[in-house]
Amino acid sequence: MNRILVLLGALFLLAGCGSSSRNEGERQPELLDRGAEEFLAGNFSSAEEKFEKFLDQNPLSTRRAWIFTRMGLCRNGRGDYHGAINAFGRALAAGARGPIRLEILYRRAIAFNYNDMPDLALLDLEQIALEPSATRNQVLKAAEFERILGVTLIRSGEWKRGRRVLENLVHSYPETKEARNSVRLLSFQKFSIQVARCPDDESARKQIALLQKKGVIGRVEILPDRSGISVLVGDFSRYDEVVRKRNSLNALGIRGFILP
């Protein structure tokens, strides 16, 4: 959650309430400033309430796209990805343009991925990819964008193209965390679910034993950077198959995330 707060907070600082000119005749414009303050403090629900209240009192505000974007960021921040998708869609419909449009498409793609909708996420990411790199790089970190694009392509069934994107990331930005993560993702030929990350063999074996007690077969994988051992479940050719397995593990009280 802290990482989400930092990433989304950066957008608030880039185009925060203080940078949006006030319109004469609008009621309670201070709600926007208070909403931004609540967001940066991590109080996403309180922030969203203030933005919603402002729109209730100013339904024809010319800043609707700007405000809907912030509501989407609040929902992303508290894990309401379906709600975030809705808010970002309303921001685009309200006429979001320029850099904020690219940010909306990117954040909505992330929300689509969290909702296991890689095909829809890819549509947004492809729109961003059509922009000149100079324009795109003003808004998004190049390595981060390429990692999300590569993973989304793979989850959409485009393994070869997705792997090419990740390979290019590793070649172009070798010193970044995104490149290090991509090296590991490139080691996968099929989808798996990571259910634990352990510091040594003994703790990994304990995790395997706990899985066996619940009727789940796990395996271990040493991380490429030698920073630990992953405990993985399954090998799946299709994304919908691994999603169903992850959901069944969740029902057993076993939490995990999908790789790649």
Mean pLDDT of 42-54: 95
- Check residue 96 and give its pLDDT: 92
Asked whether 188 and 260 are in contact (CB, 8 A), the reply is yes
> What mean pLDDT comes out for the span 208-212?
96
The third-level CATH classification (topology) of the domain covering 2-139 is: 1.25.40
Q: Are 259 and 191 in contact (CB under 8 A)?
A: yes
Q: Over the chain, what is the mean pLDDT? A: 90
The answer to whether 2-139 and 191-259 have equal CATH topology is no
H-only helix segments in 115-158: 118-129, 133-139, 142-155
pLDDT digits (tens, 9 = 90+) for 108-120: 999 999 999 999 9
Structure tokens at 104: 């909306």
Total-model pTM: 0.85
Q: Summarize pLDDT for 70-100 with one digit per residue, the tens.
A: 999 999 999 999 999 999 999 999 999 999 9
pLDDT digits (tens, 9 = 90+) for 154-190: 999 999 999 999 999 999 999 999 999 999 999 999 9
Instruction: List the domain boundaries for the chain.
Output: 2-139, 142-185, 191-259
Going by CATH, does the domain composed of 191-259 fall within 3.30.420? no
In 181-228 the beta strands, taken as DSSP E runs, fall at 191-198, 219-222
